A and B are shown apart, each in its own frame.
Chain A
Amino acid sequence: MSVKQWDYSYLDSHDLRQHYMDPLDTLSMKFHVQGVKCGRCAEKIESLQSAFPEVESLRFNMANRQLLLGLKSPEASVARIVEAIEDKGFVLTPIENKNDLEKLNKKEDQKQILRLGVAATCASNIMMFSFANYFGASGSMNDLFNWLSFALYLPILIYAALPFYQGFWQSLKDRRLSVDAPMTFASVGGFLFSSFNLIRGQGSIYFDSLAGFLFLILLSRFLQRQLQKKFLSFHGEMPSESLSRARRLSEGQSLWVATENLRIGDHVLIQKNEIIPVDGQLISSQAMLSTAYLTGESEILLRLQGAQVMAGSILRSGQAEIQVTSLPSQSFFSQLVKQIVDQSQLQKRSGIQTLSDIWSQILLVSVFSIAGIFLAVNWQNDSQMAMERALALIVLACPCAMAFGTPLAISFSMKNAFKKGLLIRSPEVFEKVTQVRNVIFDKTGTLTGKKMRLARILPEKASQEQINMILSLENISQNAYADAFRAHLNSDLTKLLPVENLKEIPGQGVQGNYLGNSYELKAALSEVGPKGGIGFFKNGVQELVFFFEEEIELKALFLFKKLREKQIGLYLLSGDKESAVRAVAEKMELSADRWFSEVNPRDKAETVKKIPNAMMIGDGVNDSLAFQSAHVGVAVQGSVEMALRSSDIYLLSEDLIQINEIFSISHRAMRLIKGNLCISLIYNLLGGTAALLGLINPFTAALLMPVSSGFILLSTWWGSRQ
C-alpha cells in the first residue's frame, strides 16, 4: 500500500468537471489508463466497483484503453476512486469531452455498419430467390421469386445506398462528377429498368446483381475506413493526454491540478520520464532533458538553473522544479499537438485539383457520354439490348483508382512522412515536390546556427573564475553562442554565480554585475586578431576573446550530394554579411551565381520568384514571403501554426537529411497513384468495350467492379509499406 503522496481533490473541482464531463450527462467521466497489460489488470480495476457504493459502473475498454466511470449522483467524489485505482499501479488521465467530433465519428461508423448489415441481409436473400430461378424454377414460382427480389431490393434502394445518393448530390453542387455518380445511376437506373421488365413480364431483371454489387462496394468502403482508422490515426503517437495535469507546489505541498489552471509564476514539480507540460524556467540546479517530441533529436540536453525549458520536453534526470513562464496553451508543443490532431481528424480537400481528380472526371464524363450515345443510337433497334449494355457499362466503369486508391496512397504517404518528422500541409504537396528542380537554402538557422564551434581563445585559456562568470552570464540565453560556451566550458568545477542586473541584449550580448564588478560578453574589439570574435569584458577591459566557427552539419553536406545526384540545382540565400555567407557557400561548392548575401526578405522573395520550380528551405516566420513565391516551401523552425500558413512542409526533426526523404516519399506516392491510374485505365477500356459488345452482362459487371476496387486497394496498401 503506497504512501499517500498526492492530493486528488482537483478532480472534484467544478472547473475540471465542467471541462471533462459531458454537460448532458454529469454522471459519467472517461479516463485514459496507462499500465493495463492484460485482463488481470482490467479485473483489478473493475473489481473496485464493489468497494465504492457511489459507483454505478466501472468499465474498462481494452480497444482504446479507456475507463468509463459511472456515478450514482453528480455530487459523488471522483477523487477517491481515482486514488484507489492509481494505488494499484495504474495512471489515470481524464479525457476531455470532445463532444462534437468524437460523437460524430462514432455515429458515422455506426450508420455505416447498419447500412452494411441491411445490404448484406437483403442481397443474400435476393440471391437465394434468384438462384432458384437460375436453376429452373418456372411459372408462378418464378414470378413470385422475382417479386420477392423486387421487394427485398427496396430497403437497399432507399436506405443502404443513401450515401451514394448524398455523395452524388454533393458532387453535383460542386459541379463535378464523383465516383458516387455511376453507383447512383446503377442503383436507381438498374432498379427502374428491372422493375419495368418485371411488370412487362419479359426481359432480364437485375435485382440480384445490383444488390450484390452495392453490398460489395459498401463493404470495401467500410474496410477502407477501418484501414484508415487503424493505420493512420495519430492517437497513440502524441502524448496529448498525459499533459492534462501537473503537480503544483504550494507551501511545500504538491497538488495535482489541471494544466489549464496553471498560472504564470506557479511552481511545478516534474518527475523522471515525465513530460513537462508547460514552458518554464528551471528552479532546480540542473536537469537533463530530451526534446525528442519537439525536434526529433534524441540527444539529451543539459540545462542549468535559471534556463528556459520547453513544454513537451521529457525529463530524464531525477526530479525538477519549474516555474511557469507562459500559459500552457501558448507553448509550441500544444500548438504542435493541436495541429497534428486537426490534421488527422479532418480530411481537408485541397483547392488545387490533383492529377487523379482530373482523370476521375474525364473517365466518368466519358463513360456517361458513351453510355448515353450508345443508348440513343440503339434505342430504335433494340432498346432492351441497349439498356442492358449501357447498364453493364455504367456498373463496370469504376474510377476506383481515383476514388479509393489515391486517397489511401496519399494518407499512407502522409503517415510515412510524419514518421520521418515531416509535417505535410495538404495532399497536393507530394505532386509539387516531384516537380521541384531547384532547392534554395537559407543560411542562418537552416544550414548553420544550431551549433557553433568554439575555435580559438585569446590569450590562451580562460581561468575557472572567468569560466564561472561566462557561464553565469550566458545562463539565460538560448542562442547558439550560449550553447557553444556551455558545450566547451562546462565541467564539474563549474559554479554558477549569482549575477545581478543580468541582461541579455538580443543580437549584441549579455551583461551583469557581481561583487561590484561589471561583466560583459559582446563583440570583441578588433585590434586583437581577426574580426568577428566575442570578447569577455571585466569593468570595460577586454580580458578574453573567443572565436567561433559556424558548423555546417555533415548531414547538410550529405544532403547536397544527394540533391546533386538528382540533378537538382542548389542555391544559397541569406541576409547575413558577405564574409559569413561566402564561407558557407565555399563549403557547399557553390559557384558565384548561386549564392546571395545581405538579402532582405523582400528581395529574397523576388530572387526566389526568378528561380524556376524552386523548393525554399528556411525559417518558418522570417522566410514566409519567400515561401509564398516558391513552388514548395519547407520550414525548418519557428511557430508551427504560422509556418504552415505560408509553407507546405514543416520539418519537425530539424534533420536536413529528411529533405531527401521527402523526395523519395513523394516520388513513391506519385508512382503508386500513376500505377493505379494505368491499371484502372486498362481495366475500364477493356471492360467497357466488352460491355458494349455485349460480352459482359450487368451481373458479371457487378462482380468485376468490386473485384477491381479490392485489387487496387490491395496494391496501394502493398506499395505503401515501408
Chain B
Amino acid sequence: MNILYLAIPIAICLGAFFLYSFFWAVKNDQFEDMEMPAFRILFEERKKETIGEEIT
C-alpha cells in the first residue's frame, strides 16, 4: 500500500491541473456559446472572398 504515497500526490496534482484548466476556460468565455463552435468546424476556408459572391 506504500504506492499510495506516490499515487495520491499525483492524483491531487492531476486534479489541480484540471481545476486550473476549468478556471482558464470559464474566464476565457469558452462556455459562452455552445452551438457555434460545432458549426464553425464545418465552415469552408475561403482564400479571397469578394463582396457579392454567394456560397453555393
Chain A interface residues toward B at CB < 8 A: 1, 39-40, 42-44, 46-48, 50-51, 59-63, 84, 87, 110, 113-114, 117-118, 121, 125, 141, 144, 148
Contact = CB atoms under 8 A, between A and B. Distances in A.
Contacts of B22: 114, 117, 121
Interface of B: 1, 4, 8, 11-12, 15, 18-19, 22-23, 26-27, 31-36, 38-40, 42-44, 46-52, 55
Given A42-B39, A43-B43, A84-B51, 6 more contacts: A39-B42, A47-B49, A62-B39, A121-B15, A121-B18, A125-B12
B24 to A, nearest CB: 11
A59 B42 CA distance: 15
Contacts of A46: 40, 43
Nearest to B34: A63
Contact of A50 (B31, B49, B55): B49
B4 A141 contact: yes
Nearest to B48: A50
Nearest to B53: A51
B27 A110 contact: yes
Contacts of B34: 63
Contacts of A60: 36
Given A39-B42, A63-B33, A114-B26, A87 B51 contact: yes
A536 B15 CA distance: 88
B10 to A, nearest CB: 13
- Ranked 3 nearest A-B pairs via Cβ: A39-B39, A62-B35, A50-B49
A61 B27 contact: no
A277 to B, nearest CB: 29
Contacts of A125: 11-12, 15
Contacts of B44: 43, 47
Contacts of B40: 46
Nearest to B42: A39
A239 to B, nearest CB: 23
A121 B19 CA distance: 7
B50 to A, nearest CB: 6
Contacts of A43: 39, 42-44, 55
Contacts of B38: 39
A48 B35 contact: no
Contact of B36 (A48, A51, A62): A62
A546 B40 CA distance: 69
A50 B46 contact: yes
A62 B40 CA distance: 11
Given A1-B52, A87-B51, A141-B4, A47 B19 contact: no
13 contacts: A1-B52, A39-B38, A40-B55, A47-B43, A61-B33, A62-B39, A84-B51, A114-B26, A117-B22, A125-B11, A125-B15, A141-B4, A148-B8
A459 B41 CA distance: 79
A121 B17 CA distance: 11
Contacts of B48: 50
Nearest to B12: A125
A112 B12 CA distance: 23
Contacts of B55: 40, 43-44, 47
A47 B46 contact: yes
A717 B31 CA distance: 26
A117 B23 contact: yes
A141 B35 contact: no
Nearest to B40: A46
Contacts of B43: 43, 46-47
A482 to B, nearest CB: 51
Give the one of B18, B22, B34 with max A CB within 10 A.
Answer: B22
Contact of B31 (A1, A47, A113, A141): A113
A99 B11 CA distance: 42
Counting chain A CB atoms within 10 Å of each CB, the highest count among B31, B42, B43 belongs to: B43
Given A47-B43, A51-B51, A62 B33 contact: yes
B1 A51 contact: no
Contacts of B19: 117-118, 121
Nearest to B5: A144
Given A51-B49, A63-B33, A114 B4 contact: no
B34 to A, nearest CB: 7
A118 B35 CA distance: 25
A65 to B, nearest CB: 10
B26 A110 contact: yes
A378 to B, nearest CB: 38
Contacts of A61: 32-33, 36
Contacts of A148: 8
B32 to A, nearest CB: 7
A117 B27 CA distance: 13
Nearest to A1: B52
A70 to B, nearest CB: 13
B23 A114 contact: yes
A59 B18 CA distance: 28
A148 B5 CA distance: 12
B18 to A, nearest CB: 7
Nearest to B27: A110
Contacts of B47: 50
B23 to A, nearest CB: 6
Contact of B35 (A47, A63, A84, A117): A63
Nearest to B8: A148
Contacts of A84: 51
Given A43-B39, A61-B36, A48 B49 contact: yes
Contacts of B15: 121, 125
Contact of A42 (B36, B49, B50): B36
Contacts of A39: 36, 38-39, 42
B19 to A, nearest CB: 5
A384 to B, nearest CB: 29
Nearest to A61: B33
A60 B32 CA distance: 11
- Of the candidates B4, B49, B51, the one having the most CB atoms from chain A within 10 angstroms of its own CB is B51
B47 to A, nearest CB: 7
Contacts of B50: 51
A30 to B, nearest CB: 13
Contacts of B39: 39, 42-43, 62
A148 B11 CA distance: 12
Given A141-B1, A141-B4, A113 B36 contact: no
A61 B15 CA distance: 31
B17 to A, nearest CB: 11
Nearest to B23: A114
